[in-house]
């Protein structure tokens, strides 16, 4: 009896119906890199209570103090700053007394933070660019209520002090300076001198343009910009806006003119971008083309954004359009890929590839467990195996970590194998690492592009379970179903079972 062995679980991409036999079709909360060569769920979401959180988290800023203690700062859309100790996720008492957060009492309208070392006071400081102001906090202090936080530092202290322009905000460090978007300018902050020097208009894009996103690339600052109306304060990627043009500017940080200006036809907005090992990736609103992931390509002296793949994800059998991450706060790298939070489905997605000869893959290693009226607004990899995220679940604003355990809502489906004629599936056998206490998964078999077949062992059990089966490493389910095409599927309900291969035994039978 012939057999098909499925063991290439990394696949070519979520939702691709033209996959070679046995490769990844779709998955929810499946981390393809957590256990290399195995199919395994992503980490379990664990909420961390930030008492007083009442708006979206718009940035998560990791930083180190001079003493070596590592903190992470959480910045919300209502102007509150929380901090946690990375080692144990303990909430610091930044505000002193019973109020553990610092409150700037203004909606920042997409603020951004950065931690930088200041030669002026020989220590690490946290700088928050919010609304029309810059605040400064001492990264060596766990209590900012006693003078270690300056709420209006940008308009009162540095040389060149003044109010920022309200609008989209992005901040990067490049050539030892801090650079920030400031309306139709890119601003510059030098904290290596005493007093610090602030320039609100280091580079002028033109009065009709808004600087949206910044990134570093080689010897240049990359600036994604838009011309049109409703560009400054509106950060909702699903909102209606009028954009006449979008462009990318490459600037060296010193010249009065740009090194290169690249028109981006057909692009409504570049919502976010990242430099990953010298490759520039962007998340784009393409208008009628939907939201998609793109890569900056250079060909001689020409540059252009090449569309890689649309942002779509299989949710309960339906290909669902995803909205781009709202800002660079909702992008990071993880396991060699780009990690991003979606604005409409509470998902944290991964895009990338391990082999340059393969197409880019889209997968979903983590999720908030909420798909309706939800969004992920900020993510940050804190350690190799620890992700912080800010999200909205449709009712409450929350902060979470992904670092231990396994998702209890994980699921996976292979691509269909179409035999071209009628076959009889005799059995399906699953191979996995030895089961441990509480492990439990439910395998099924989909046939003929629509029918799900419940599998059952000789005892009538439909699950692979440590309680029922012990510490086994494989389990066979007899099927005896006729079909033309099939694919196995798995749902995890408890534990983190790691699958190595799936074997399907079948016979060809007459099509008559």
Specify the CATH class of 3-42+410-508 in words. Answer: mainly beta
At residue 431, the pLDDT reads 97
Q: Which helix (H) or strand (E) holds 173?
A: strand 171-174
Q: Which helix (H) or strand (E) holds 186?
A: strand 185-190
How many whole angstroms from its chain centre is CA 123? 31
| 3-state per-residue secondary structure call for 319-387 | EEECCCCCCHHHEEEECCEEEEECCCCCEEEEEECCCCCCCCEEEEEEECCCCCCCEEEEEEEEECCEE
Single out the residue of 74, 79, 80, 71 nearest to residue 59, CA to CA. Answer: 74
At residue 68, the pLDDT reads 67
CA distance 462 to 455: 5
Please list the residues that pair with 312 across neighbouring strands.
Answer: 321
Beta strands in 218-301 (DSSP E): 220-229, 242-251, 260-263, 269-276, 279-285, 291-299
At residue 72, the pLDDT reads 96
Q: Which residues contact 335 (CB under 8 A, 6 or more apart)?
A: 31, 33, 34, 350
CA distance 444 to 500: 17
CA distance 323 to 37: 30
Helix (H, G, I), strand (E, B) or coil at 179: strand
At residue 266, the pLDDT reads 86
- The four Cα atoms 33, 37, 41, 45 give a dihedral, to 10 degrees, of -20
Place of tokens 């670092």: 403
pTM of this structure: 0.92
At residue 239, the pLDDT reads 59
Return the number of other C-beta atoms located less than 10 Å from residue 172's C-beta: 20
**pLDDT one digit per residue (tens) for the chain, 512 residues:** 799 998 877 554 554 555 544 456 688 999 988 888 899 999 999 999 999 999 999 999 998 777 666 899 999 999 999 999 999 999 999 999 889 999 998 887 789 999 998 887 888 999 999 999 999 999 989 999 988 999 999 999 999 999 999 888 999 999 999 999 999 999 999 999 989 999 999 999 988 888 999 999 989 999 999 887 655 555 555 555 566 789 999 999 999 999 999 999 888 889 999 999 899 999 999 888 889 999 999 887 788 899 988 898 888 778 889 999 989 999 999 988 999 999 999 999 998 877 777 777 788 999 998 878 899 999 999 988 899 999 999 999 999 999 999 999 999 988 888 899 999 999 999 999 999 999 999 999 999 988 999 999 989 999 999 999 999 999 999 999 999 999 999 999 999 999 999 999 999 998 87
- The four Cα atoms 164, 268, 324, 327 give a dihedral, to 10 degrees, of -10
Q: Which helix (H) or strand (E) holds 156?
A: helix 153-156
The structural domains of the chain, with segments of one domain joined by +, span: 3-42+410-508, 322-404
Return the number of other C-beta atoms located less than 10 Å from residue 58's C-beta: 27
At residue 12, the pLDDT reads 44
């Amino acid at each position: 009896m012939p057999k098909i062995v499925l063991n290439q679980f990394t696949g070519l991409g979520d939702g691709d119906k033209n996959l070679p036999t046995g490769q990844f079709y779709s998955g929810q909360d499946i981390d393809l890199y957590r256990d290399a060569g195995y199919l395994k769920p992503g980490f379990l979401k664990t909420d961390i209570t930030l008492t007083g959180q009442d708006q979206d988290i718009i940035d998560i800023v990791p930083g180190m103090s001079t003493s070596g203690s590592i903190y992470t700062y959480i910045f919300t859309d209502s102007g509150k700053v929380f901090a946690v100790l990375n080692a144990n996720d303990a909430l610091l008492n930044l505000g002193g007394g019973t109020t553990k957060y610092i409150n700037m009492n203004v909606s920042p309208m997409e603020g951004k933070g950065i931690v930088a070392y200041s030669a002026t006071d020989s220590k690490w400081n946290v700088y928050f660019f919010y609304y029309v102001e810059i605040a400064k906090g001492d990264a060596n202090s766990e209590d900012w209520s006693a003078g270690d936080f300056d709420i209006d530092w940008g308009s009162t202290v540095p040389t060149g002090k003044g109010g920022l322009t309200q609008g989209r905000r992005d901040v990067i460090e490049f050539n030892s300076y801090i650079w920030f978007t400031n309306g139709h300018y890119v601003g510059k902050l030098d904290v290596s001198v005493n007093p610090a020097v602030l320039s609100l208009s280091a580079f002028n894009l033109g009065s009709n343009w808004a600087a949206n996103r910044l990134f570093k690339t080689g010897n240049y600052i990359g600036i994604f910009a838009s011309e049109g109306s409703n560009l400054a304060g509106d950060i909702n990627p699903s909102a209606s806006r009028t954009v006449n043009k979008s462009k990318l500017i490459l600037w060296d940080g010193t010249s009065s003119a740009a090194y290169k200006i690249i028109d981006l036809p057909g692009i409504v907005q570049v919502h976010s971008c990242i430099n990953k090992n010298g490759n520039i990736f962007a998340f784009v609103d393409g208008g009628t083309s939907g939201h998609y992931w793109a890569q900056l390509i250079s060909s001689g002296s020409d540059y252009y954004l090449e569309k890689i793949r649309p942002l779509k994800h299989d949710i309960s059998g339906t290909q669902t359009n995803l909205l781009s991450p709202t800002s660079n706060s909702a992008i990071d790298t993880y396991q060699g890929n780009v990690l991003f939070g979606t604005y409409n489905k509470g998902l944290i997605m991964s895009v990338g590839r391990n082999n340059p000869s393969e197409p880019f893959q889209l997968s979903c290693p983590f999720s908030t467990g909420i798909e309706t009226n939800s969004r992920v607004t900020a993510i940050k990899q804190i350690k190799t195996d620890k992700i912080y995220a800010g999200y909205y679940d449709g009712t409450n604003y929350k902060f979470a970590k992904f670092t231990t355990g396994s998702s209890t809502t994980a699921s996976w489906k292979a691509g269909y194998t179409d035999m071209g004629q009628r076959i009889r599936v005799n059995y399906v056998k699953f191979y996995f690492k030895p089961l441990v206490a509480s492990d439990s998964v439910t395998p099924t078999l989909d046939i003929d592009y629509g029918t799900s077949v419940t599998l059952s062992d000789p005892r009538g059990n439909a699950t692979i379970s440590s309680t029922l089966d012990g510490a086994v490493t494989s389990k066979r389910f007899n099927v005896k179903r006729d079909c033309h095409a099939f694919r196995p599927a798995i749902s995890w309900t408890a534990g983190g079972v790691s699958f190595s291969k799936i074997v399907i035994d079948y016979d060809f039978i007459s099509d008559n």
